[in-house]
């Protein structure tokens, strides 16, 4: 289990899946084989499978222990969720809850759940199936959602036969709101214990970064602003899922610049091993600096 220390805080990676199963040219419409070849020495085996042409991407949460509180950042796809348009996610059953337990935390001990955005692979474990109903998995937690993302989803989720975000808004977000556990946030916001939320729209209208400062050290949880390490070299490369192309590029560059300028550790939710890095400026842009090198 990957675990990193940020000042007085600890962030542990809770894995749901880690597969070389995403066609690079489909995932990144701007994918360039020649550009990728320049990074071949570090792309394989943790980030890319040359034989299949597939990216290796992780889906994981970060469990943040901070000032005696347990905070989950993004909650993956979840078990038993009907996702017919995504066969790998459809009715999935993984050991994510057992991995959370192995990190020393039961669901009832989570104090806060923070979602960087409301796509299906970031909200799934918000709820679990209980006697045919979707109920909050973390019954004692406050769930922090972006008001902009929530309102955007609600505005488009009007057709019973065509739910937004593969149905995740209905089965993984709305039950939390109906249970009175949601806290909607708008704009920049400082929370307790050195946590701060900053808007970073583009991937979705309400995407946020979650920034931590503890004992002089900094970390930035970026959700899908950066999916894959190659985007650090090519911040102009959007994934197929970025809803506002120019906004996504703008937020990605700003996030990388903030990390490079402040020394903050970057913690995405899909990047391959070692799953986290620092960012350095180069003459032409940015590069990742992994612990121990590539």
How far apart CA 138 and CA 172 sit, in angstroms, is: 12
- Among 249, 222, 223, 257, smallest CA distance to 29 is for 249
- The pair of structure tokens assigned to 12 is 């542990």
Answer yes or no: are the C-beta atoms of 132 and 93 closer than 8 Å. no
- Among 218, 222, 279, 225, smallest CA distance to 4 is for 218
Domains and CATH numbers, the chain: 3-212 (3.60.15.10)
pLDDT in tens, the chain (294 residues): 799 999 999 999 999 999 999 999 999 999 999 988 999 999 999 999 999 999 999 999 999 999 999 999 999 999 999 999 999 999 999 999 999 999 999 999 999 999 999 999 999 999 999 999 999 999 999 999 999 999 999 999 999 989 999 999 999 999 999 999 999 999 999 997 899 999 999 999 999 999 999 999 999 999 999 999 999 999 999 999 999 999 999 999 999 999 999 999 999 999 999 999 999 999 999 999 998 655
- The pair of structure tokens assigned to 270 is 């899909």
Element (H, E) at 269: none
Q: What pLDDT, in 10s, does the model give residues 9-57?
A: 999 999 999 999 999 999 999 999 998 899 999 999 999 999 999 999 9
How far apart CA 69 and CA 73 sit, in angstroms, is: 13
Q: How many residues does the chain have?
A: 294
Q: Is the dihedral of CA 200, 198, 108, 57 positive or negative?
A: positive
- Among 254, 256, 271, 264, smallest CA distance to 212 is for 264
């Amino acid at each position: 289990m990957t675990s990193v220390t940020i000042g007085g805080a600890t962030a542990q990676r809770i894995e749901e899946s880690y597969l070389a199963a995403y066609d690079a040219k489909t995932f990144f419409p701007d994918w360039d084989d020649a550009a990728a070849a320049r990074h071949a020495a570090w792309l394989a085996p943790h980030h890319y499978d040359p034989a299949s042409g597939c990216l290796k991407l992780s889906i994981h949460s970060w469990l943040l222990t901070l000032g005696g509180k347990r905070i989950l950042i993004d909650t993956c796809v979840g078990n038993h969720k009907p996702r017919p348009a995504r066969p790998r996610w459809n009715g999935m059953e993984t050991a994510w809850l057992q991995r959370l337990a192995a990190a020393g935390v039961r669901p009832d001990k989570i104090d806060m759940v923070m979602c960087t955005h409301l796509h299906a692979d970031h909200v799934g474990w918000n709820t679990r199936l209980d006697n045919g109903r979707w109920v909050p998995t973390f019954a004692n937690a406050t769930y922090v959602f972006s008001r902009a993302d929530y309102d955007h989803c609600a505005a488009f989720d009007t057709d019973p036969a065509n739910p937004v975000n593969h149905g995740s808004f209905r089965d993984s977000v709305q039950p939390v709101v109906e249970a009175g556990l949601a806290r909607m946030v708008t704009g920049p916001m400082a929370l307790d214990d050195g946590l701060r939320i900053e808007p970073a729209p583009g991937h979705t209208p309400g995407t946020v970064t979650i920034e931590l400062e503890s004992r002089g050290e900094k970390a930035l949880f970026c959700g899908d602003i950066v999916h894959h390490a190659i985007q650090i070299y090519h911040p102009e490369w959007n994934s197929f899922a970025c809803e506002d192309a120019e906004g996504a590029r703008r937020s990605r560059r700003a996030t990388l610049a903030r990390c490079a300028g402040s020394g903050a550790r970057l913690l995405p939710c899909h990047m391959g091993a070692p799953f986290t890095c620092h960012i350095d400026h180069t003459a032409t842009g940015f590069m990742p600096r992994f612990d121990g090198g590539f």
